[in-house]
Structure 1
């Protein structure tokens, strides 16, 4: 193997943030960047081929334990976004270490021109003691790993 020893990290070793909103997220669904494909036959052989077309990002989810006071800026952002403020956001997913302080340990996944498409939360069930979660679903135009 060229380049030395692999040094994998766990799924816990990420800091997920939205630029401009003072909050962090516990879960990120990951990205799925896929290309459209089309089948075709050349008309001379008994074989079908595939053409690869434009790429697109699937919807992504951010999720966190809901704090009614600390997470008000997230709710306000969603409400304002839906009221006509269609400004895109930037989301960063950065591998980090936590000891002794939170420090980046590699390039970040940066999702550009992200636009929220759904907010889920405020679920009530008096028969359970589950943590209340807040979930933000969004789409993005592009991403880089830098």
Structure 2
């Protein structure tokens, strides 16, 4: 998300000059509230053309299975192989797959999934997972 410098507002200003904060929102469509020079809140102007508010605010849940996410990451990786822990981290960082409780799949789950799909993946020594040739 791109934010102009004038859209950065201190937490203190939010508490003391709310009208000015809303003027900035009207002008720029959003403001980022900073506390101790770190982003704390983002205030956005609602756009009715974007659809119902429930749809806009609904959390986006990844729709990929773990093996689909593994395949996608490995296809983008040089040599089409990666350590299971790095693969799990990259899947999580890209928000490609989350467990039902919303947490990251661990490396041992990635390694186990590799064993369940031997036609797609090969487990190499050192906990390295490789996407097999011909898998697209």
TM-score (norm 1): 0.21
Whichever structure has more helix as a proportion of its residues is 2
Whichever structure has more strand as a proportion of its residues is 1
Structure 1 or 2, whichever has the larger Rg, is 2
Structure with greater contact order relative to length (CA < 8 Å, sep ≥ 6): 1
TM-score (norm 2): 0.22
